[in-house]
Each structure stands twice: as C-alpha cells, then as structure tokens.
Chains A and B, each alone.
Chain A
Amino acid sequence: MGTTVTHAPAQDGAHAAAASPRHGPPVAPGHAAVKRRARRENLAGYLFLSPWIAGFLLLTAGPMIASLYFAFTDYNLFDAPRWVGLANFQEMFADPRWRKSVSVTLWYVVIGTPLKLALALGVALLLAQQRRGQAFYRAAFYAPSLIGASVSVAIVWKAIFSDDAVVDRAQSALGMDVGGWIGDPHWILYALVALTVWQFGAPMVIFLAGLKQVPRELYEAAEVDGAGPWRRFWNITLPMISPVLFFNVLLETIHSFQIFASAYIVGGGAGGNACGPADGSLVYTCYLYIQGFENSRMGLASAMAWMLLLAIGLVTAVLFWSQRRWVHYEEAAR
C-alpha cells in the first residue's frame, strides 16, 4: 500500500506525458494548454448559449430599450414616433381610467396574494403530516396551478360566476342575493381573486419543501417545555420557514401585479373597450393593452409599461429591505 502511494505520482506523470500529446511537455503540464482548453470550452459554452443570447438581445433587451424610447414619444405604429418628453406620464397621471386601473390592480394584489399564501401555507401544514394518500392530495391541490392560467379555465370561471350559474344560485340559497359576480362592477374583482387563490398549489409545494427542512428536535424540545400547537407554529415553524415565505411573498406579489389573461377574458365581452362591467376588472396590464392595441397609443402604452416596471421594482426593493426584520436565515444565526 505504502509503496504504491509513493510511486504513483511519477508513474502518473510519465503516463500522461506519453499518452497524451495535447497535454504538452511532461515537466510543466502547461498553463498555456490549460488556458487554451479553457478558452475553447468557454467558446463552446457561448456557442451553446448563443440561441438564448440572440433571443434575449433580439426579443427582450432590444424591444425593452425601444419601448423606453417610445415611452417619451407619441407613437401610433403608423407614423414615425414624435418626441413628446414627459407628456405621456403627465397624461397618465391625469387620466381617471389609469388611476382606476391602478386601484383595481392594487386591490387585487393586496387581497389576492395574502389569501393565496395563507391557503397555501394552511394546506401545506396539513399535508406535511404523514398520512395515507398524501401524494394524491398533493397532486390534486397542485393541479389548478398547472391549468389555472389557461384561457379555457378563465372561460369556465366566467360561466361559474355569471347570473343564475352555480355561485349565484348557491348564494341565493344562502339568502345572499348579489346576482352574478361577472356583471357587477365590484364583485367581478373577487371572481378574479378567487381564480388566483384557487391556484395556491405552486406556493404550497414550496411551503411543503420548507416545512420538511424544519428540524424535528425543535418541536420535541418545545413540546417538553409545554408549548401548544399554536405556540409551536408561531415560534418555531414560522421563523424557520421565513426564507421560503419571503420567496413566496416576493414571487406571488410580482406575479399578481402582472395579471392579464384572466382579467382580459373574464372581463371581456363588456362593450366599448372596457374590461369588466364599468371597468370592474380593468387591471393595469389590461388598460395598457387597450391603450396600445385598441387605441393605437403605443407611446403611452410603453410609458405605462415602464411605470409598472418601476412600481414592481419599488415593491420588490421594499420587500427586500423589510426581510431583515422578519426573515430568519439559518446561516446568520450561526
């Protein structure tokens, strides 16, 4: 054993030198060669990346820069863009429909996101316990997340919440006579909120993964100290999964701000470029779409898009700033 070890380096070196001409002279296994090889591998790497890079430059970065320019112009797609400075932004802030779209979106985010996450966490807690058929439940709860964004589900949703449909009848049976949600300027937003909450499966799966990471001993120790279930949840589970919670809050918030398809479809069919009755489901991106593609105001629509990006950036920054106060990282504690 000992001999083999001492001989090994010399043998290996000789072997390499003899058998592999591209590794260069045996004495210095070759900085230049290694470099050349690394460079070649880098090149190959970039070549493999090139479809993505080309796509990013052509389809994402290019249009984004163009839209930043359009945001300061009056552009109807036909005539050359005309520089107007900040006029688009001024018009935006003065437009009551724009303000309406902001408020609809904010309500949607503020109501929908916490509800969805609360439900996701609640169900994840139930599913985290070892039970029979757990895999089935997990799949069943996750399924809506897969299909929820589709056009067909939005159409079904519209049917469910219309006059004399399932929800209306169930409500009437309970003595709540509000009529179909789809035709009501206020209730239609809650139909959309219900649609997003129904898709709680995606954050649920992430919560489940987080819950599995919480060490058992903590619970056992707490139980010995006489902590009840609520206490254990509040003082152990929540802090331990706070990074996962942060991740979910961040993702869902950003996602909610960008809601488009479901609002456009559920609120579609209302007359006159509206989204929902009396613009009840006029979320920000819907109004952006109306201005851009129906009213041919591409400059204004670009300005709106950048405004949305700024707003989402701001909210994200605030969330990141706030995490110092409530997100507990294992590493930091050590």
Chain B
Amino acid sequence: MRTTDGVDRRGLLRIAGGSVAALGLTATATACGGGSGSGDGKVTIRYAWWGSDDRAKRISESIKLFEKKYPKIKVKKDFQPYPDFWKKFNTQASGGNPPDVFQNAIGFLRKYDAKNVLLDLKDQVTAGNLSMDNFRAGLATFGEVDGKLLGVPVGSNSMALVIDKPVYTKAGVKPEQGWTWDDLDEALGKIRDKTDRAGDSGMYGIMYLYDIYLRQQGKAFFTEEGLGFTEADLTQWWTKADKSIKSGLVADTKKVVQAKPKSAVTAELAAGEFTWDNFTNRYTDEGKSEYGLAPIPTTDGKKTGQYLGSLMLSASRKTKHPKEVAQFIDFMVHDPEVGKIMEYDRGVHATTEQYEAYQPSDPVNQEIAAYEQSLVDAGVLEPITPHPEGADICESAFLRIAEELGLGTRSVDEAVKQFFTEAKTAFRH
C-alpha cells in the first residue's frame, strides 16, 4: 500500500511534467504551423480574400490550375466575409503573420503602406516574375502609391444604379445617360406612386456615390491627406437625404437595416440601389426579379464623375517567397483560363488576355461589360488617387451617421458635425 502510494505520486508527477512539456511542444508546433517551405523545395504561400462562397469556389478552381502549372508552389486558402476580413487581417499583420498574398482595395493601400505591411512589387516586375503589360483602360497604375506598386488590379468595376427592371418598367421610368439628379427624384416619385416599392434603398451614406456627386462639382470625397469637401457641402447632401426619406422617395431605413445582409433591392423594399456594377451578379443570385444597370445621374447633364475601381492583389512585405507570390499574382490576372473560371465575379477582367478569353453569354454579365465599355467610350472616366490613411474609418462613420439620419435619431446639423468630428479623429490616428 505504502509503496504504491509513493509510485503513484511520482508517476502522477511524471505525467504532470509530461503534460507541461507536451503543452510546450504543441505551442511550438502551432507556432511553426504557419511557416512554409519544406525540404523538397516545395513552397507554401497563403492567400487570403473576402467574398461570397461562389467566389471561393471559383478561386479554388483557379488555384488548382496554378498548382498544376507550378507544382513546386502550394497555395493555402483563407477567406471571410468582407467585414471580418479586415479585422482578421489587421490582427495577423500586426502580429507579424500576414497572409503572403491577399485581396485589397483602394481604401487600404495607403493605410497599410504607412504601416509597412505592403510589398513594392516593382522589383518583381523588373525580375520578370510579374507582368504589368496588357492592362485595360489605364488600370496598370491603379495600385501605385508614391511610385511604388502596391496592388495589381484584377478586375474593374464602376458605381452604377442597379435596378429592378420590371419595377422600373411598371412605373414607366426609363433612365438615360446624362439624366440629372432632379430627373432621378422625379423617377423615384413615380415609382413610389405607381408601385409598392420605394424608389431607392437610401443612397446618402454611400461614400463612393457621394464621391461621384462631389466629382461632378470638381471636388472629391478624399484628398491625399483628408476630406475634400466642407461642412456646407455635406449639409446640402444630407438635407436632400432628409427630404427624400421623409417623402418616402427612398426606403424606410428601419426596414433596410433589418433586411441586411440582404440588399434592399432583393428584399423588395426598393426598386434600385447605387452600388458596384458587378453586384448585379450577386443580386441575380439573391433575388427573384430581373436586375440591370442604369446610368449615374449628373449635375450638368454630361459629367458623371465616374472612375473605374478595382479589387487588387497585394503582397506582404513580410513574405519569405516574393518570387512565388509574384508568379501567383501574375497567373491570377493574366491566365486566360482563370478569366473563364472567375467570369465577372471580381469585376470586368483587368487584362486583355482574360477580357478576351471570357465572352459573357448571359444577359447580366453582357450588360456589365457593355456598361463599362460605354463609360470608356464616352470618355467620362476620371483618375482616382488612393485614399488617405483613416479613409476606411471615415467610410464607416459616413455610412453609420447617414443611417442615424435615416432613423431620425440625428438632425442634419448634428449628423454633419458628428461626421466631421469622427473624420478628424480618424485622420489623426
């Protein structure tokens, strides 16, 4: 009995000691798990993006092709919905463990450049691992900041008015290129009176739309350092918003909020919404009606203030495999097969190789292509400068405060004041 007692205790201690050691080992193993590269010369790179399940399927298929062509490179996948993506990315990047290559957007270039997260891909272009040739409509320089190549565009998109076609037809509204904001209000009124919908989902918190509105007056939402408009400008825009909400031209914010993540258009609350043209695809999946594109209203009957935006692929400065990452980006933007697989999920293909490889056969994608071609042909496109650091927080605040206006918890003056206060804080930090 006594002997067993002793053995037991010692044995237990040994087990306890063993577990502690094992814990330590697991910790090390986990820490190494994120690493890449192994003895056989194979290299693993991690690719992170945001988007729908549909996008994930297309990307997985593209990656399979890539791994077949480059058997020495393995691509690890990591994707989230948009709002979660940046939280995770931010945490990983600050911890020194960002993905090697990731999807990026114009609002984040300067932000992460200032934090030394992004790799300047110019060296890889010089080394011949990445080609910046054959980009359409001046997109090749879209991801350049201060002479550094920080993002490679994958597909262009542009703001548009995405509409529920049958509802517009029923109301007898036919938008035409060059129509004005007053024409739009009149159209929204007709829709409200003749159908069971509001005319629009409530456009006044969409930063990219207000940007276009400002550009029509020779201004812009952002300059390189801060905001490109005054409190008086915003008061005018949100006073217009207040009127539209109260008169029912746009949908009840309360209902729009609850419909999320569904769009107000596919939730059949509104007949239209200002958003990116390639979202027509998403709406077609999500809703029951037939969706199409209408032109952006103008101030002077001519200038729309539009530009081509684009999702990009960026690389981390921390990556141990810049060459492989560059090869991957090159493949994703130039390979014709990838163009066929992705279709217009990321926008209209940025390179001529992919643009020519994929000829849309369905009406939705045909309309998107025609829409963007019409913008290029009309010569209305403007250049866009990458947003300043803090722009993403401004965009969020803009959306939230406009929503508060719509819900009636803030007056126009209070809302404008609050936005400028928050913007100031965002740019300072």
Report which A residues bind B (CB closer than 8 A): 20, 44, 47-48, 50-51, 54, 74, 76-79, 91, 96, 162-163, 179-180, 182-185, 269-274, 277-279, 293-297
Contact = CB atoms under 8 A, between A and B. Distances in A.
Interface centre among A78, A96, A294, by most chain B C-beta atoms within 10 angstroms, is A78
Interface stretch (B231-239, B253-261, B324-332): B253-261
Contacts of A293: 87, 90-91
Nearest to A43: B13
Interface magnitude class on chain B = 35 or more
Interface in B44-62: none
A19 to B, nearest CB: 9
Interface stretch (B157-165, B294-302, B305-313, B394-402): B394-402
Contacts of A278: 403-404, 407, 409-410
Contact of B396 (A51, A96, A272): A272
Given A51-B19, A77-B91, A278-B404, 11 more contacts: A50-B20, A76-B94, A78-B93, A78-B115, A78-B117, A269-B261, A272-B395, A272-B402, A277-B403, A278-B403, A296-B90
Contact of B407 (A77, A185, A297): A185
A162 B261 CA distance: 13
A274 B261 CA distance: 14
Nearest to A179: B254
Contacts of A277: 253-254, 257, 403, 407
Contacts of A51: 19-20, 23
A273 B409 contact: no
B426 A273 contact: no
B174 interface: no
Given A51-B23, A96-B418, A272-B396, A180 B258 contact: yes
B429 A76 contact: yes
A297 B426 CA distance: 10
Nearest to B254: A183
B205 A271 contact: yes
A175 B156 CA distance: 51
Contacts of B395: 272
Contacts of B137: none
Interface centre among B90, B258, B407, B409, by most chain A C-beta atoms within 10 angstroms, is B258
17 contacts: A47-B13, A96-B418, A183-B253, A269-B261, A271-B260, A271-B403, A272-B399, A273-B396, A274-B400, A274-B403, A277-B257, A278-B404, A278-B409, A294-B86, A296-B90, A296-B94, A296-B429
Nearest to A271: B399
Interface in B369-420: 393, 395-404, 407, 409-410, 418
A183 B257 contact: yes
A91 to B, nearest CB: 8
Nearest to B111: A296
B25 interface: no
Contacts of B396: 271-273, 294
A193 B90 CA distance: 33
B127 interface: no
Interface in B179-235: 205
A270 B259 CA distance: 10
Nearest to B403: A271
B16 A48 contact: yes
